[in-house]
């Protein structure tokens, strides 16, 4: 039997009011796997990503991370909603990087990185700062430790955001279009950091429009449209010989 | 152009007043001398202390309770948010003077106030008149009323913080309280502080309503002296001078507070007026070297 999947989705549904955003998602992400998700905007890929760390509640189906249900506890055949503290603890094990960075503007780069280790994990300041400096060095920002977010370029901000997520030593990293808000010449530096993470064996789910990245770094590629997974497989196969008409149309419009 | 119009109107007003005084110099009599005499009067100075105490206490109650009410208001729990809504509706909808009078006369409906643990004999009770002194009545009236306004100000500040900030903090595993305390409120400060400064300045003056509860603050003191000496206008001027002095000091404090919480929103902070003044003095004495290099270029053009 294979190892427990890091992410396992079975018939996941999500509605916003009457709008069905996810209409039965089934997929699995193995530990160490890099899964890229592509699809037109409004296809539900970002929503699915946000369901994984319970920023959105799912309305039906089962979604688990590392063998544990997201947001619920099963007792017998009944599901109980988790208390806030438990939801927080589970979220702290999953890193998330946003399209618009969402760095805390009132804190310096290193303060952004050490905030969660200090307040959530309650690590000592010395340990946290040491970790923070090493992480910023890892994303190539050793000399920007004390800069405020608005003194950094978009690419630099996104790299701080990645360091901030890594500071909680997550077992899974979620990337929500991490390069979509960047100037074209800054995309490369962020993708390089992500490539390094993948090489170190991090499990990653990446919603992206970067087909090159998906092809080179991704272990699997999922194409979503209108709330369902249309096609999934090896990135090269999906990108070069898509089996579905919708995938073909989408790829021809973005490539 | 606009400046000329404004100056002209101001000049006209000053001229009118000056002319009125000149036409009947005895109207205000030795008024200014009396103003000078009472401005540092012991009772006036004591009144200022009480005014400051009232203002500080009422604002502390208002701010703490206001933050709690604002956080309650955005709670997902409908009971909690309704209680907050009701509080603001009630305390903002009735005059603060009425509220001060209410606390002042609380003993009429509630002669004793007690606190205890149910089903035990532990019970502690005190006469309302001992607990609710006039000063206490005014503090409660002003503070509880202020909380309703502060709640709305804090709520506006919280709403002004981008939702992505909350999500990023939640994604790191921070709970609601931590997110509020570490991420949202510090950023909301930028929006909260200017109106809070206004509220404090306003409170300084509104505290004169404590007159109604016979609290011996600045306004009551000047009124007492005026009644005894008939120097009504003089003492109103004395009180006004002090209110102006105190609000001016608060305005300066507000400026520096805003600067402090503006960190991270601008690239580098703007200079304070004091820094700008010093910079001006320095440039007067030593012109920057750049201006001396200019002539070196000019001769070549003449050739």
pLDDT value of position B119: 78
pLDDT value of position A231: 95
In this structure, the strands spanning A34-38 and A204-207 are parallel
Number of H helices, E strands in chain A: 9, 12
Tell me the whole-structure pTM to 2 decimals.
0.80
CA B25, CA B11: separation in Å to the nearest integer?
20
**In terms of Cα–Cα distance, which of B253, B285, B238, B179 is closest to B32?**
B238
Task: Write the residue in A55, A84, A100 that is nearest to B171 by C-beta.
Answer: A55
pLDDT value of position B265: 59
The count of C-alpha atoms lying within 13 angstroms of the C-alpha of A247, restricted to the half-sphere facing its C-beta, is: 21
Task: Write the residue in A55, A91, A106 that is nearest to B187 by C-beta.
Answer: A106
Q: Helix (H, G, I), strand (E, B), or coil: what is residue A64?
A: strand
Q: What is the dihedral of CA B84, B177, B253, B217, to 10 degrees?
A: 40
pLDDT value of position B110: 80
Q: Are the CB atoms for A150 and A182 separated by under 8 Å?
A: no
- Least confident stretch, A201-215, B9-23, B101-115, B289-303: B289-303
| A53 pLDDT above the threshold of 90 | yes
- Least confident stretch, A12-26, A46-60, B103-117: B103-117
Which of A119, A120, A147, A177 is the best residue to mutate to test the B interface, defined by the most B CB atoms within 10 Å of its own CB?
A: A119
Mean pLDDT of A13-38: 95
Looking up tokens 């909603």, which residue turns up? A81
Mean pLDDT of A11-17: 95
Q: Helix (H, G, I), strand (E, B), or coil: what is residue A77?
A: coil
| Interchain pair A119, B267: CB under 8 A | no
**What are the chain A neighbours of B172 within 8 Å (beta carbons)?**
91-92, 115-116, 120, 164-165, 168
pLDDT in tens, A116-154: 999 999 999 999 999 999 999 999 999 999 999 999 999
pLDDT value of position B182: 96
pLDDT value of position B279: 76
- Chain B residue whose CA is closest to A50: B171
- Least confident stretch, A60-74, A162-176, B91-105, B109-123: B109-123
- Chain A residue whose CA is closest to B264: A106
CA B154, CA B119: separation in Å to the nearest integer?
39
Task: Write the residue in A89, A92, A148 that is nearest to B264 by C-beta.
Answer: A148
ipTM: 0.93
Which of B160, B166, B168 is the best residue to mutate to test the A interface, defined by the most A CB atoms within 10 Å of its own CB?
A: B168
| B296 pLDDT above the threshold of 50 | no
Confidence band for B295, pLDDT divided at 50, 70 and 90: very low
- Least confident stretch, A183-187, B115-119, B173-177: B115-119
Mean pLDDT of chain A: 94
**What are the chain A neighbours of B173 within 8 Å (beta carbons)?**
88-93, 116, 120, 168
Mean pLDDT of chain B: 86
Mean pLDDT of A216-242: 95
Q: Are the CB atoms for A27 and A52 separated by under 8 Å?
A: no
pLDDT value of position B130: 79
CA B35, CA A167: separation in Å to the nearest integer?
66
From residue A174, give the alpha-carbon distance in Å to each of A41, A203, B154, B172: 18, 9, 33, 12
CA A242, CA A233: separation in Å to the nearest integer?
10
**Which A-chain residues 161-180 have CB contacts (< 8 A) with chain B?**
161, 164-165, 168
Residue A154 C-alpha, separation from nearest chain B C-alpha, in angstroms: 15
Confidence band for B300, pLDDT divided at 50, 70 and 90: very low
**In terms of Cα–Cα distance, which of A191, A188, A155 is closest to A175?**
A191
Task: Write the residue in B171, B174, B263 that is nearest to A106 by C-beta.
Answer: B263
| B139 pLDDT above the threshold of 60 | yes
Q: How far apart are the first and last CA of chain A?
A: 38
Higher pLDDT, B105 or B22: B105
Give alpha helix (H) positions in A27-181.
45-52, 84-91, 109-119, 125-138, 154-166
Q: Helix (H, G, I), strand (E, B), or coil: what is residue A82?
A: coil
pLDDT value of position B102: 93
| A237 pLDDT above the threshold of 90 | yes
Q: Cβ of B233: how many Cβ atoms within 10 Å? A: 15
| Interchain pair A93, B263: CB under 8 A | no
**What are the chain B neighbours of A88 within 8 Å (beta carbons)?**
170, 173-175
Q: Are the CB atoms for B192 and B155 separated by under 8 Å?
A: no
Mean pLDDT of B66-72: 96
| B212 pLDDT above the threshold of 70 | yes
**What are the chain B neighbours of A151 within 8 Å (beta carbons)?**
267
CA A195, CA A139: separation in Å to the nearest integer?
11
CA A239, CA A63: separation in Å to the nearest integer?
27
pLDDT in tens, B267-285: 556 677 777 777 777 766 6
pLDDT value of position A242: 94
Buried b (16+ CB within 10 A) or exposed e, B54-88: bbebbbebbbebbbbbbbbbeeeeeeebeebeebb
- Least confident stretch, A22-36, A54-68, B66-80, B254-268: B254-268
Mean pLDDT of A93-103: 97
Asked if A84 has any chain B CB less than 8 Å from its own CB, the reply is: yes
Q: Are the CB atoms for A208 and A35 separated by under 8 Å?
A: no
pLDDT value of position B291: 45
Could you tell me which residues come within 8 angstroms of residue A46 by beta carbon, excluding any fewer than 6 positions away? Answer: A176, A177, A207
| Interchain pair B164, A116: CB under 8 A | no
Mean pLDDT of B46-65: 97
pLDDT value of position B303: 41
């Amino acid at each position: 039997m294979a190892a427990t999947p890091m992410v396992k989705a079975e018939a996941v549904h999500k509605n916003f009011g009457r709008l069905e955003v996810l209409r039965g998602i089934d997929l699995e992400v193995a530990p160490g796997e890099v899964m890229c998700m592509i699809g037109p905007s409004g296809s539900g890929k970002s929503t699915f990503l946000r369901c994984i760390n319970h920023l959105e509640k799912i309305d039906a189906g089962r979604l688990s991370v590392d063998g544990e249900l997201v947001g619920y506890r099963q007792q017998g055949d009944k599901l109980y909603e988790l208390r806030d503290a438990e939801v927080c603890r589970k979220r702290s094990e999953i890193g998330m990087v946003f399209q618009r960075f969402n760095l805390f503007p009132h804190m310096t780069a290193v303060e952004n990185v050490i905030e969660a280790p200090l307040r959530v994990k309650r690590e000592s300041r010395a340990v946290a700062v040491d970790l923070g400096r090493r992480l910023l060095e890892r994303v190539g920002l050793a000399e920007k430790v004390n800069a405020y977010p608005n003194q950094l370029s978009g690419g630099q901000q996104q790299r701080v955001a990645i360091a901030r997520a890594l500071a909680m030593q997550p077992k899974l990293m979620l990337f929500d279009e991490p390069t979509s808000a960047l100037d074209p010449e800054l995309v490369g530096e962020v993708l390089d950091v992500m490539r390094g993470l993948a090489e170190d064996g991090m499990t990653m789910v990446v919603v992206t429009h970067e087909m090159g990245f998906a092809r080179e770094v991704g272990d699997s590629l999922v194409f979503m449209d209108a709330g369902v997974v249309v096609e999934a497989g090896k990135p090269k196969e999906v990108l070069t010989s898509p089996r579905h008409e919708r995938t073909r149309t989408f790829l021809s419009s973005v490539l | 152009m606009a400046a000329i119009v404004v100056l002209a109107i101001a000049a006209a007003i000053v001229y009118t007043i000056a002319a009125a005084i000149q036409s009947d110099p005895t109207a205000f009599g030795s008024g200014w001398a009396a103003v000078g005499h009472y401005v540092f009067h012991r009772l006036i100075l004591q009144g200022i202390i009480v005014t400051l105490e009232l203002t500080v206490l009422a604002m502390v109650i208002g701010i703490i309770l206001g933050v709690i009410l604002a956080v309650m208001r955005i709670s997902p729990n409908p009971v909690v948010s309704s209680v907050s809504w009701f509080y603001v509706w009630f305390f903002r909808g009735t005059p603060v003077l009425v509220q001060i009078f209410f606390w002042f006369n609380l003993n009429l409906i509630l002669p004793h106030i007690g606190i205890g643990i149910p089903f035990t004999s532990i019970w502690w009770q005190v006469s309302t008149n001992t607990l609710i002194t006039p000063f206490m009545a005014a503090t409660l009236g002003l503070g509880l009323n202020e909380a309703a306004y502060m709640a709305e100000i804090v709520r506006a500040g919280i709403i002004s913080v981008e939702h992505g900030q909350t999500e990023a903090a939640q994604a790191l595993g921070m709970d609601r309280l931590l997110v509020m305390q570490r991420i949202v409120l510090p950023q909301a400060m930028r929006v909260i502080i200017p109106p809070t400064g206004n509220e404090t300045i306003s409170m300084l003056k509104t505290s004169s309503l404590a007159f109604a509860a016979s609290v011996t603050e600045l306004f009551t003191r000047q009124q007492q002296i005026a009644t005894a000496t008939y120097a009504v206008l003089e003492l109103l001027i004395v009180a006004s001078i002090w209110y102006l002095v105190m609000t001016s000091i608060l305005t300066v404090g507000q400026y520096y507070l805003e600067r402090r919480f503006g960190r991270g929103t601008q690239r580098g902070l703007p200079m304070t007026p004091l820094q700008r003044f010093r910079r001006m003095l320095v440039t007067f004495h030593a012109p920057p070297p750049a201006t001396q290099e200019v002539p070196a270029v000019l001769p070549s053009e003449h050739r």
